[in-house]
A and B are shown apart, each in its own frame.
Chain A
Amino acid sequence: MKIGVFVCHCGTNIEGTVDTAAVAEAAREFPGVVFATDTMYACSEPGQDEIIDAIKEHKLDGVVVASCTPRMHEPTFRKTLERAGLNRYLFEMANIREHVSWIGKDREANTNKSVDLVRMAAAKLLNNKPLNAKFFDMNKRVMIVGGGVAGIQAALDCADGGLDVILVEKTSSIGGKMAKLDKTFPTVDCSSCILGPRMVDVAQHPNITLYACSEIEEVNGYVGNFSVKVKRKATYVDWDKCTGCGICMEKCPSKKADNPFDEDLGKAPAINIPFPQAIPKKAVIDPNFCIKIKRDKCGVCAKVCPSEAIVYDQVDEFVVEEVGAVVAATGFDLVDWTVYSEYGGGQYPDVITSLQYERMLSASGPTEGHIKRPSDGKEPKNVVFIQCVGSRDKSIGRPYCSGFCCMYTAKQAILTKDHCPDSQSYVFYMDIRSPGKMFDEFTRRAQEEYEARYIRGRVSMIYPQGDKLIVRGADTLMGDQVEVDADLVVLAVGAEAAVGASDLAKKLRISYDAYGFFMEGHPKLKPVETNTAGVFLAGSCQGPKDIPSSVAQGSAAAAKVLAMFAKDQLESDPAVSVVDIKRCIGCGKCISTCPFGAIKEVDFRGQPKAEVIETICQGCGICTATCPQGAIQLQHFTDNQILAEVNAVCRF
């Protein structure tokens, strides 16, 4: 094999700490290498043309590019090779940027290491074989997990694009966090007036199947052919019959159930429709509070239900859906603020969260839009907002900025003045972060027009005095201590990954970061893709986002799904396992270890042998390490290829 080596400067990214010319010179001595050079930007158009010209001029049959991580530009250079008429697998990359130039400044050591990495790549390349992709059919249906605003947008866009959409939501209604909001920033328009019609669109769209009260149980398969088992949790109400009239709610004698939709402000009946615009508008019984289910007494709802929809002995059901792509849109949860003992840690009823306050402001909320202190129901005069509760705080492991708290606090300060014209709002803040369109103007309006007093500093403690709460904090601009007599304290809590996000990530085989948010394929260039083909992300499950960003990402995920499904067939990665039938003894160990069921037993002249189903094989190579005979080899990562790299780096 005639190998060409191209050592990229990457501007000064590599050249700054690696002598690329020396690396190229050293590479000329490696077995098989007939041509080596350094180049300014290998990935640029002139860089790629240089590679193509060299392939033609020196009749190269393999190329090594020493540059950045293959996770970045391996596909780019493989295409370059194809343009020059070579097979794309006759290519290797040496990662001398992320793994060398960026992690050390010692030029000699870096150059030395780069030479080794190029030697390893060239040694591996000598053992590479041309591989050709196969094509396979896909199931052009998509599953969206999570029915918040991002999931709704993704579902509608996919459905409008002609796809069959299955929308899975774990609570009894779609709408997510946005449905709980009273108004949205910076336009102060009514949240449910914008979201409500979109929710109705979901319900009425002929292409969308909605599974509310449902969760993902198991995900099998691979891009284009996922098989997802969905758990439809028991609601104790036959939804085919329930008309959402609400009589059961009125008559239910148990009114002590948790009320997650109202953020546990107030209680709910044991049979409940969470809010008037709920989609689907169906009742659900909370079995922990239903007297009939717990003690076999009562049964009022069954008696009053005009459509005989109550089924007390309903059990969880499972459905399996075949889809080609999955969009995760599971959103976020609020940080548990009770860890902050200085803010009362859940002891004082008049210290509430921003989302609880939002429910209080909402006309369909527990106080019907009146601001009332939870302790005595009085209208507050002094309302204190404390920002960065659970965000930008290393001490509780939440060092990141949640991004939207500055804005919703400004909105709530404005709304407070609207609801109670005599009130005075105080906002304790660290910085005001309002980079969106019309955002800064909005926070200024809260201060200038609505006279909210913004105090830069942290609150050190809150303690009760009479029926007031004393909020003591620092004013770092004045260099002074401040104390405010508050009637109500609202904590602007930050976002964290949704409960159960990591479980879903494991089922979908996608990665998540240290905080539990799902990882995108590339922070800049693949914001809605994951590293698992066919799984996309939308909304706050990837990191805290406001409504416009969530909607944009929902549409972006839908565009990616539609683009994928626009092809007739998907191309499979040809780097799959193959069986050497002469060596295979038919022991079946590979069959039992393969996580994908991609290996089957076949009969070869009366002998059992293993055979790989190419389109199912994902190229992990677990079988290769399992086979006692070395009969099954993962192409492109064969034993010989890996050992060639080992030999290139070892010294005896």
Chain B
Amino acid sequence: MPVLEGKELRIVGFLCNWCSYGGADTAGVGRFTQPTDLRVIKVPCSGRIDPLFIVKTLMSGADGVLVSGCHPNDCHYAEGNFYARRRLEMLKRFIPMLGIDPDRFDYTWVSASEGQRWQEVVTKFTEQIHKLGPAQKIEGPEAEETLKLMEASL
């Protein structure tokens, strides 16, 4: 089944198991209505997220990528989100060099109790992606080379 034409875009969310996935669950339990575009990939910790996952996701056709972990200092694994923050901050600056609109990527912190905050984050990010519209395919030999190199290093 294809993405609902004109209604939905492809947004991928990388969520840490302990805080943000829990926060998304809390939002669900609280029946907080959200846009349906986001597809969640659960990872144990935001520190597990290799920035190349995000690049790969965006180059593979996602229209947006949202990463969410525990608030700084609240990490279930003590310091995973600090590693995540450093890596993702670097990535933010690096993304435009690949020809990707940096607004298609964002990262945030949502705790397991913050269902309402999760609703706000998802709604805002989805609106932002809808404003940008569907992503253009990055084509050409250079892009293919980048993808190949990236896959090799993962």
User: Which residues in A have some Cβ–Cβ distance to B below 8 Å?
Assistant: 26, 69-71, 95, 97-100, 102-106, 108-113, 115-117, 120, 505-506, 509, 511-514, 519, 531-532, 575, 593, 595-596, 618-622, 624-626, 630, 634, 637, 639, 642-643, 645-647, 649-652
Contacts and interface: CB of A to CB of B under 8 A. Distances in A.
12 contacts: A102-B31, A104-B35, A112-B36, A116-B1, A511-B70, A513-B113, A532-B76, A621-B48, A630-B154, A649-B39, A649-B62, A651-B60
A519 B22 CA distance: 11
B53 A620 contact: no
A646 B56 contact: yes
B66 interface: no
A109 B29 CA distance: 19
A413 B53 CA distance: 64
A650 B10 contact: yes
A103 B111 CA distance: 18
A618 B19 CA distance: 16
Contacts of B8: 109, 112
A621 B34 contact: no
A103 B80 contact: no
Contacts of A531: 18, 22, 76, 112
Given A625-B47, A646-B12, A649-B12, A115 B1 contact: yes
A650 B4 contact: no
A403 to B, nearest CB: 19
Contacts of A95: 25, 40
Given A619-B44, A643-B56, 20 more contacts: A71-B17, A102-B29, A112-B3, A112-B4, A113-B39, A509-B77, A511-B70, A511-B74, A513-B111, A595-B80, A620-B77, A622-B45, A624-B48, A625-B47, A637-B43, A637-B48, A645-B41, A650-B12, A650-B60, A652-B61
A71 to B, nearest CB: 6
A651 B3 contact: yes
Q: Which of B27, B32, B77 has the most CB of A within 10 A?
A: B77
Contacts of A70: 42
A511 B39 CA distance: 25
Given A112-B1, A622-B83, A514 B39 contact: no
Given A102-B29, A630-B154, A650-B60, A595 B78 contact: yes
Contacts of A513: 111, 113
A511 B43 contact: no
A81 B36 CA distance: 31
B107 to A, nearest CB: 14
A648 to B, nearest CB: 9
A651 B28 contact: no
Nearest to A101: B28
Interface string B98-122: 0000000000000111100001000
Contacts of B87: 625
Given A620-B44, A651-B3, A643 B154 contact: yes
B49 interface: yes
B72 to A, nearest CB: 10
Contact of A595 (B43, B79, B111, B113): B79
A642 B47 contact: no
A313 B113 CA distance: 45
B1 to A, nearest CB: 5
A646 B111 CA distance: 24
B28 A649 contact: no
A473 B147 CA distance: 70
Q: Which of A70, A108, A511 has the most CB of B within 10 A?
A: A511
Lowest 5 CB-CB distances: which A-B pairs, in order? A98-B28, A621-B48, A652-B61, A650-B60, A620-B77
A71 B154 contact: no
